[in-house]
Amino acid sequence: MQITRELLDKLSYLHLKEYAKQIDKLDRVMELFNSALMNRSVNVKKVMPIDYCDRGLYGLALEAQRDGPFMNFAEMRTFFHTGLSRVYAEPLPSPLPPYIRLSILPNGIWVGQPDDLLAYLEERREDIKHNEKGLGKKLAEVIFEDVKIV
């Protein structure tokens, strides 16, 4: 499978808006593309230096890089949510904890919960509730098996 960086970034932005509850669901075309991508095996590659974010987040990225590949995107997301719950001793209610510290998107693992990351990207600084160290920075790359990004 081959996709453009632009399409992957658009899908990731829509995921972020969906997690932040600004849209209900992806449109039909993006949902078809999303389905094809989400069922592929996934690896994680840490990209951020250790002092750019909280050490707990950095440690989770290293664990994911070591423990991969994951069967699919959902398994990888569960790994991070469970890890956040373990590292920060926060409960893991369904579907998302109230403050998850990371946004797990198709184009990477980003520092900041979805609402805060979206506010940061849209330059709405007044709407940021948790100013996590490294907010808006990519902690790790998500690499889908057999997907070439052009």
* pLDDT score, position 94: 47
Q: Give the number of other CB atoms < 10 A from CB of residue 147.
A: 17
| Segment 98-113 mean pLDDT | 88
Q: Structurally, how many domains does the chain consist of?
A: 1
- Show the domain range for 9: 2-149
Host H or E run for residue 143: strand 138-144
Q: Is residue 95 over pLDDT 70? A: no
Between 90 and 34, where is the model more confident? 34
Query: Per-residue pLDDT tens for 15-70?
Result: 999 988 888 888 888 888 889 899 999 999 988 888 899 898 999 999 999 998 99
Please indicate, yes or no, whether the overall pTM of this predicted structure exceeds 0.95: no
Q: Is residue 97 over pLDDT 60? A: no
Q: Mean pLDDT lowest for which of 21-25, 68-72, 98-102, 141-145?
A: 98-102
Pairing mode, strands 148-149 and 2-3: parallel
Q: Is residue 126 over pLDDT 90? A: yes
Alpha-carbon dihedral sign for residues 54, 55, 57, 62: positive
| Segment 73-86 mean pLDDT | 90
* pLDDT score, position 120: 97
